[in-house]
Chains A and B, each alone.
Chain A
């Protein structure tokens, strides 16, 4: 335990200044309209900030393999969650539009009389 590696304070100070600076950048960037890029830029800065907190403050940089596996595993799970929910949401009803040309969806249903198989298909 005594031989435990202690992260130098200078790392913390630099990270702290970096985080404050990036917060300022976030607010600054929000004052300009980049159109569709707004969200991307904001998220990109947030990811950089989060990585700084994780790597330095939480000490992930000095952690062993399994901690990385746990953390990346949870991030992958979140991405899977995002991906499939959006895969559903963005394609709902799409098949009805795309296959509308193949089938006559408005054709009347043929009533089956008892004892008589319907002709055709």
Chain B
């Protein structure tokens, strides 16, 4: 043990104020990570609460209203407080400037501001939780949301504020990627995670403001009236759904694009092979970003939208499959003849690959008009988006978290427990949600409080799975926190990655690099590196 401590971003300054006023992107990333972990715990608590209630066909321990509040809060907390900021704001903030070879993001003060905007939004969300928790579903559909006596206004205000946090992060990332790249880092030498964050930032800037104004209109509508969503005045409630999904469908890609970026990093590092089809993966991220603006109407197939609009939206929805498919095939091809190392992050990569394919394909089912008539608003839809959101995004987030954990904190976690937790999460997840595919095809509608007796076995089975899933997360929390205090010291490059963040110290220096790196090759040139 050497007694000389090397200064890094964690110990260069101490005290709580040095964290709260920091302009260092790494520290801001870590603070986001903390808040996101808490939000995930909160959202998970509501998930558990409502799965428990669904053990029996009739009331178990929640009233119908409490049940509605539980699923609304589960959705709202998970979407607005956890998934949207998870990869871009937490991992992205930490990794992006490192991968670009930059000293910081372009606007460090704006970065800190967007963190505090996030905290403010979270505070509003928590306030609404204790002040008549909202029961409209996380989509806040009118006309119910303008009439509900729960705290719709404070929750929509929270989502509005959180949206601004997301926009500011997007602005920051775009400027950073354009202007802060290290010498020699051309566009096609950028790591694919950066490309994914770039596509994400474009959606954040162009789609998020629309949900901002929509939620503001909803607030005005329920306070002094605007009339545009109110049929009594000649308004149109379906218009709300248009406005809402114009953002919220692209938002799905705000969640999943960065996840795909993490996947590209994991597959090269743990197969020790150059990525197959670098440019196609980069371009397909942009393609997904563009197509994401053209498909929102598939949420409105059965809402009274015109049949012709349905047909156009259905057709466009299928197009999303093309760039997604390109990515999946390229990852699989990268694995071919690679030196595969089944470390914990790679286990999450494999989980993503498997679960996201199921989530994606069932999305195609739902995009087909006639099939959607049967499956709309059933547990099939619930299972579908959990397979993409949780099976996709959360798996990638966990993969990325385990991948960059040693870099972030300079400590190794227990590989053995990491693999055990990954197994629990994978099995538990499928246990809970594959069951729900079956429930949905049998006709169980989503968001129902009481249900027919014939569905009980499947519901009970699904609820049992939540305990397996939860156990996985508890194990993970224990060994990750344990590693912070008792973990082995991490080397600078534990996985043999080639992107620039592995060149920096572990944990990185306050200024990231001692001298600005110069880039001469692509990001994944393992052949030149001797593999």
Contact = CB atoms under 8 A, between A and B. Distances in A.
Contact of B306 (A66, A73, A93): A93
A93 B498 CA distance: 58
Interface string A80-121: 110011011111111100000000000000000000000000
Contacts of A48: none
Interface in A20-74: 66, 70, 73-74
A89 B308 CA distance: 10
Nearest to B305: A88
Contacts of A93: 306
A73 B308 contact: no
A96 B296 CA distance: 23
B206 A88 contact: no
A7 interface: no
Contact of A85 (B207, B242, B293): B242
B304 interface: yes
B210 interface: yes
A92 B305 CA distance: 7
Contacts of A89: 236, 306
B308 A94 contact: yes
A111 B313 CA distance: 35
A85 to B, nearest CB: 5
A90 B205 CA distance: 29
B464 interface: no
Which among B178, B236, B297, B308 has the highest number of chain A CB atoms within 10 Å?
A: B308
A73 B242 CA distance: 20
A91 to B, nearest CB: 4
Contact of A88 (B178, B202, B293, B297): B297
B118 to A, nearest CB: 24
Contacts, number: 49
A80 B206 CA distance: 12
A77 B293 contact: yes
Contacts of B309: 84, 87-88, 91
Interface string B290-316: 000110110010001111110011000
B239 interface: yes
A74 B246 CA distance: 13
B202 A73 contact: yes
B305 to A, nearest CB: 5
A91 B297 contact: no
B169 to A, nearest CB: 16
B293 A87 contact: no
Given A74-B206, A87-B312, A88-B242, A80 B306 contact: no
A90 B309 CA distance: 10
Contacts of B238: 88
A95 B210 contact: no
Which among A66, A84, A87, A94 has the highest number of chain B CB atoms within 10 Å?
A: A84
Nearest to B295: A84
Contacts of A91: 306-309
A97 to B, nearest CB: 11
Contacts of B304: 92
Contacts of B236: 89
A77 B206 contact: yes
A85 B300 CA distance: 12
Contacts of B307: 91, 94-95
A84 B312 CA distance: 9
Nearest to A93: B306
A116 to B, nearest CB: 22
Interface in B166-195: 178
Contacts of B246: 81
B250 to A, nearest CB: 9
A73 B170 CA distance: 15
Contacts of A84: 242, 294, 296-297, 309, 312-313
Given A66-B178, A73-B202, A85-B242, A80 B305 contact: no
Contacts of A85: 239, 242
Contacts of A87: 306, 308-309, 312
Contacts of B300: 88
B253 to A, nearest CB: 14
Interface in B239-261: 239, 242, 246
A81 B244 CA distance: 12
A94 B306 contact: yes
B306 A95 contact: yes
Nearest to B309: A88
Nearest to B174: A70
B206 A92 contact: no
Interface of B: 178, 202, 205-207, 210, 236, 238-239, 242, 246, 293-294, 296-297, 300, 304-309, 312-313
12 contacts: A66-B178, A70-B205, A84-B242, A84-B296, A85-B239, A88-B238, A88-B242, A89-B306, A90-B306, A91-B308, A92-B306, A95-B308
Given A81-B246, A87-B308, A93-B306, 9 more contacts: A70-B205, A88-B306, A88-B309, A90-B306, A91-B307, A92-B304, A92-B305, A94-B307, A95-B308
Q: Considering the complex of A and B, which 3 residue pairs feature the smallest CB-CB distances, nearest first?
A: A95-B307, A88-B309, A91-B306
